[in-house]
């Protein structure tokens, strides 16, 4: 795994240690975990809106859920030998593309 400005040595090493175990390299398992983590993010976002008295707790969990989601995406990048820095740059560039061509307006 290449180290870039988007990933430090400690994160890199933790991902490498995780992937030393063969079951952890099962891409379907990684995808399933990613989907669960995305669902956690969505649930926390929704619950913050419908349970405003508990917003602080859901916000705290949202931070954890986003962290899990981001690291899981990094693990998948490693499994496919994708450079995380390049993936982040690509995503950033696509944000500009969507913004430029977007005609979506709130009503």
- pLDDT (tens digit per residue) in 56-98: 999 999 999 999 999 999 999 999 999 998 999 999 999 888 7
Q: Structural domain tally of the chain?
A: 1
- Under 8 Å between Cβ of 41 and 69: yes
What's residue 101's pLDDT?
Answer: 77
Indicate whether 2 pLDDT > 60: no
| Owning domain of residue 72 | 9-101
Q: Radius of gyration of the chain from Cα atoms?
A: 17
What's residue 99's pLDDT?
Answer: 78
What's residue 97's pLDDT?
Answer: 82
Residue 2, domain member (yes or no): no
Written as six digits, the tokens of 38 are 């995305």
What's residue 4's pLDDT?
Answer: 59
Strand (E) or helix (H) holding 50: helix 27-50
Residue 107, domain member (yes or no): no
Residue 63, domain member (yes or no): yes
- Under 8 Å between Cβ of 15 and 78: yes
Confidence class of residue 1 from pLDDT cuts 50, 70 and 90? low
What is d(CA 89, CA 96) in angstroms, rounded to the nearest whole number?
11
What's residue 105's pLDDT?
Answer: 63
Residue 84, domain member (yes or no): yes
The residues that bridge with 7 in the sheet, in sequence order, are: 4
What's residue 107's pLDDT?
Answer: 61
Confidence class of residue 106 from pLDDT cuts 50, 70 and 90? low
Taking the alpha carbons at both ends of the chain, their separation in whole angstroms is 45
Strand (E) or helix (H) holding 66: helix 55-79
Instruction: Collapse the DSSP code of 34 into the 3-class scheme (helix H, G, I; strand E, B; otherwise coil) and give the result.
Output: helix
């Amino acid at each position: 795994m290449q180290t870039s400005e988007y990933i430090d040595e400690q994160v890199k090493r933790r991902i490498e240690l995780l992937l030393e175990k063969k079951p952890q390299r099962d891409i379907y398992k990684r995808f399933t975990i990613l989907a669960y983590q995305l669902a956690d993010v969505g649930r926390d976002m929704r619950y913050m809106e419908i349970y405003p008295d508990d917003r602080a707790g859901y916000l705290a969990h949202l931070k954890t859920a986003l962290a899990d989601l981001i690291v899981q995406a990094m693990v998948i990048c490693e499994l496919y030998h994708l450079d995380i820095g390049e993936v982040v740059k690509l995503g950033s560039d696509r944000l500009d593309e969507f913004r430029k061509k977007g005609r979506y307006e709130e009503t």
